[in-house]
């Protein structure tokens, strides 16, 4: 049973798509098409489009996020972007996305340091976790995700500030990203419960219950309903579908139904 009314969040991850000239109009089109009460909307464009997207979203309730931050505050890291550099450009950041784990070989401990950098810079962190196909087929999906989360958050907790209260976790089964395959809603809900149990062991059950868990794995307007039907799932991290305003409109509209239902339950509780 959910002790808190967690927010419903739809986050667009544009990955390496859009130029600055393309990004602004797309962001505005999405904002205009998704003005739904009680759904938090975030757009994470490439670094080079952060300013144009921010300008396009002035006057809307859509937030801007970065797709990554560096784990150090400054230094000789050619081509990297620190959390502090994002001040004024973004208010969120994704960390630990599976593509960075795969391509840049980011460890759980390093990702924990990125969460710390986000907190220091006032960015809301969205921590991604997820298993490979072979890990799921071997029956190790829950253990894998719990280990990722534990290793990252123990680094954060050891820093002295504790697990941030505004943390968001995105469960993205790696085998479902860009493959056209998706997990089942029940599978995602089971993982969300495991994620909160892991967080509870590091912080407290109350804080763990308040942390939103999103699903991210080839989310589309056709599949989003199955995940939002699960009380443990609080929204989605959307990849390719987030580059289409009509897809985002349908996804956020469905998220609005979940948000309205949660508000009604809270009001009558």
Model confidence over 10-43: pLDDT tens digits?
A: 999 999 999 999 999 999 999 999 999 999 999 9
What is the rounded distance in angstroms from the CA atom of residue 185 to the CA atom of residue 158?
A: 34
pLDDT at 259: 97
pLDDT of 2 > 70? The answer is no
Residues 6 or more apart whose CB falls under 8 angstroms from that of 247 comprise 220, 221, 238, 241
Question: Is 264 part of the annotated catalytic residue set?
Answer: no
Closest listed residue to residue 10, CA positions, set 250, 264, 195: 250
pLDDT band at 65 (very low <50, low <70, confident <90, very high): very high
Q: Average pLDDT in the 68-97 region?
A: 98
Look at residue 120 in the predicted model and tell me its pLDDT: 97
Rg (CA), the chain: 17
Distance (Å, rounded) from C-alpha 79 to C-alpha 59?
32
User: What percent of the chain is predicted at pLDDT more than 90?
Assistant: 90
Task: Report the predicted TM-score, pTM, of the whole model to 2 decimal places.
Answer: 0.96
As a 3-state breakdown, the chain gives helix, strand, coil percent values, each rounded to 5, of 50, 15, 40
- Does 1 have pLDDT greater than 50? no
Lowest mean pLDDT among 169-173, 193-197, 261-265: 261-265
Distance CA 242, CA 218 (A): 10
Using 50, 70 and 90 to split pLDDT, how confident is the model at 179? confident
Catalytic choice (97, 106, 131, 247):
97
Active-site pick, 99, 106, 131, 172: 172
The predicted pLDDT at position 238 comes to 97
Question: Is 99 tagged catalytic?
Answer: no
Look up residue 149 and give its two tokens. Answer: 């989360």
pLDDT value, residue 266: 72
Q: Looking at residues 160-187, what average pLDDT do you find?
A: 89
- 203-221 pLDDT tens trace: 999 999 999 999 998 899 9
d(CA 11, CA 42): 5
Instruction: Tell me: pLDDT of 154 over 50.
Output: yes
Q: What is the pLDDT of residue 142?
A: 96
**Half-sphere exposure (CA, 13 Å, Cβ side) for 129?**
30
> Which contacts qualify for 139-144: CB closer than 8 Å, 24 or more apart?
141/173, 141/191, 142/190, 142/191, 142/194
| CATH for 8-268 (2.40.37.10, 3.40.190.10, 3.20.20.70, 3.40.50.880) | 3.20.20.70
Q: What is the pLDDT, as a whole number, of residue 3?
A: 46
Helix segments in the chain, DSSP class H: 20-33, 50-56, 98-103, 108-121, 133-137, 141-158, 185-202, 205-210, 224-228, 245-268
Q: What angle do CA 57, 59, 61 make, to 5 degrees?
A: 75
What's the confidence (pLDDT) of residue 4?
59
Query: Is 50 exceeded by the pLDDT of residue 252?
Result: yes
Q: What is the pLDDT of residue 181?
A: 72
Q: What is the pLDDT of residues 233-247, one digit of tens each?
A: 999 999 999 999 999
Closest by CA to 108, choosing from 162, 148, 67, 72, is 148
């Amino acid at each position: 049973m959910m002790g808190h009314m967690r927010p419903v969040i739809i986050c667009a991850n544009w990955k390496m798509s859009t130029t600055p000239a393309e990004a602004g109009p797309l962001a505005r089109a999405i904002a205009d098409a998704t003005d739904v009460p009680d759904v938090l909307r975030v757009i994470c464009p490439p670094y080079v489009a952060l300013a144009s997207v921010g300008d396009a979203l002035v006057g809307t309730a859509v937030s801007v996020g970065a797709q990554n931050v560096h784990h150090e505050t400054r230094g000789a890291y050619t081509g990297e972007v620190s959390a502090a550099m994002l001040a004024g450009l973004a208010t969120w950041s994704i960390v630990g996305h599976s593509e960075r784990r795969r391509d840049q070989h980011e460890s759980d401990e390093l990702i924990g340091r990125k969460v710390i950098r986000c907190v220091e810079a006032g960015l809301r962190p969205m921590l991604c976790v997820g298993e490979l196909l072979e890990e799921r087929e071997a029956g190790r999906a829950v253990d894998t995700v719990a280990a990722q989360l534990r290793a990252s958050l123990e680094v954060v907790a050891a820093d002295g500030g504790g697990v941030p209260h505004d943390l968001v976790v995105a469960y993205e089964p790696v085998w479902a990203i860009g493959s056209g395959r998706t997990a089942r809603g029940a599978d995602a809900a089971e993982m969300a419960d495991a994620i909160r149990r892991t967080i509870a062991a590091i912080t407290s059950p109350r804080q763990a219950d308040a942390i939103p868990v999103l699903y991210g794995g080839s989310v589309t307007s056709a599949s989003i309903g199955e995940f939002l039907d699960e009380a443990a799932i609080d929204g989605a991290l959307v990849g390719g579908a987030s580059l289409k305003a009509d897809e985002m409109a349908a996804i956020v509209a469905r998220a609005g139904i979940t948000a309205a239902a949660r508000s009604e339950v809270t009001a009558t509780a």
